[in-house]
Structure 1
Amino acid sequence: MATTKETSRDKEAEAASLVSRLEADLLGGVFRPGEWLKQTDIETNYDAHRFDVRMALLDLKTRQLLEHVPNRGYRVASLSQQDREELIEARTVLEVAAARRVVERATDDDVAELDQIVAEFDANMEDADLPLLRALNAKFHDRLYAICGNRVMMEEIKALRHRGLPGVRGWRANSAIQRSNRDHGDMVAMIRARDADGLVHAIERHLNRWREE
């Protein structure tokens, strides 16, 4: 017979799993910007308890992946032009600061690992498996900023990146996918060359690709 402590841990694990699954679907473009999320639908589609659904929606709202409208419910965050401009400005400040630390701290193994992610992305580009490419894109950025050695900075960069993703269904054309990975390759080349200014330029260009798309 399960103990009270084991039952509590199981419930916590289920709640955490629901948050992770909803977050993955929000970031993966399963829902559209501004789409309303009905609690009853989530209970059914995710086989979740009502209390866990409410807590998950509140968690995701706190992270600004969802918006809450009184007497209406929760909907997927939808960024205005100004919202996105301000988000990119904030990301630029943090990512530029992190980039200089990355160049100082990166080891040969770090560079090789980033190279491997770029190569794996390139190898899967022809099939245009968007969920896989999105996962590899996230893996590259997470690994890049982990090198800076500042956990708070890394987590804030990741949180800001996620805030720009809900409802975005990925790149709109193969050319955009190719440009994105070329940018990644350029970043790795700048780190290998210990060129902090070059890395900063590559990151700023990468952050503003959305304007072209």
Structure 2
Amino acid sequence: MRLQRDILTEKLRAGEWLKQADIESRYQANRFEVRMALSELAAKHLIDHIPNRGYRVINPSDRERSDLYEVRTILETAAGRLAAQKCTDEDVDALSKLVDEFEAAIDTHSRADLIALNLEFHNSFYALAGNELLVDQIRELRERGIPGRKGGWDTVAGTRASNEDHRQMVDMLRRRDADGLSYTIYRHLNRWREFTKPTDSE
């Protein structure tokens, strides 16, 4: 779905209102198709439906984002342990190529391209857990965390640091080091806390 892709690549910003007429024009879609798309995205918690006002891209508060990342940490460290048990050397080599591709793209590609590459890496990584339900839950929560996120991607150095986490995740996977992998995933997921302090005011 192009509308979902534009939210996930931040072409549509957190908190941005989605006018049905604009969406119809932008995506060359009819009213029924737009309504179905909006309902589906609301069910995925990528947009909010505000009664009598319409739809807008989600913009989680710091408290909501903190809760989201706590759940993600639990699921993704568990999935990492499964991946360490089930992966093959060929799987690890394929992930390593994605890390190299992301590194090469940092200085030459758009933020939207980097987000897409990042999603591809994580989706490929957790697919190695071999549990489709777990992978789907991780993907949904990861996507919910994209709009309005803050953190290391605000600088080139931070983006490189994020990809170095990916490289270390692949290294732990190659060693079949489940404990080291769990720690690396935990650190990677919680880097954002260095850049924002959760509050209850939002």
Q: Tell me whether 75-84 or 120-129 shows the greater mean CA deviation.
A: 120-129
CA positional deviation for 1:167:
4.6
CA separation of 1:80 and 1:159: change in aligned 2, threshold 3 A: same
| Structure 2 partner of 1:133 | 114
1:161 aligns with 2:142: yes
TM-score scaled by length of structure 2: 0.92
- Cα displacement (A) at 1:128: 4.3
Partner of 2:65 in structure 1?
A: 84
* Structure 1 CA distance for aligned equivalents of residues 129 and 190 of structure 2: 22
Q: Residue 181 of structure 1 corresponds to which residue in structure 2?
A: 163
- Compute the TM-score of the two structures, normalised by the length of structure 1: 0.88
**Map 1:21-170 → 2, pairs under 5 A:** 21-168=2-149
CA 143–92 in structure 1, closer or farther in 2 if over 3 Å, else same: same
Structure 1 169/22 Cα, relative in aligned 2: closer, same or farther at 3 Å? farther
SS at match of 1:32: coil
Between the aligned partners of 2:30 and 2:104, the Cα distance in structure 1 is 41
What is aligned with 1:17?
Answer: none
The 3 A distance-change label for structure 1 pair 167 and 37 is: farther
CA distance in 1, matches of 2:107, 2:51: 45
> Secondary structure of 2:59's match?
coil
1:122 maps to amino acid: E
Identical aligned residues as a percent: 49
Report how far residue 169 of structure 1 moved.
8.9
Instruction: Return the index of the structure with the highest Cα Rg.
Output: 1
Residues in 1 aligned to 2:9 and 2:22: alpha-carbon distance in whole angstroms: 18
- Contact 2:95-2:125 within 8 A present in 1 as well: yes
Alignment partners' CA distance in 1, 2:112 and 2:10: 9
Q: Identify which range, 82-91 or 131-140, moves more after superposition.
A: 131-140
3-state DSSP of counterpart to 1:205: helix
8 Å Cα contact 2:11-2:112 kept in structure 1: no
**SS in structure 2 at match of 1:68:** strand
Deviations along 1:103-157, whole A, 9 cap, x unmatched? 1011000000010000111111222432221111111100100000000000000
Whether 1:202 aligns to 2:184 is: yes
Listed as ranges, the gaps of 5+ residues in structure 1 are 1-19
Unaligned ranges ≥5, structure 2: 196-202
Alignment RMSD? 1.4
Q: Which runs of 4+ in 1 moved over 3 A?
A: 167-170
Deviation at 1:166, TM superposition (A): 2.5
CA contact (8 A) 2:10 2:112 kept: no
Distance 1:41 1:168, change over 3 A: farther
Contact kept? 1:35, 1:75, Cα under 8 Å: yes
Cα pair 1:30 1:167 within 8 Å, conserved: no
Q: Aligned residues, how many?
A: 194
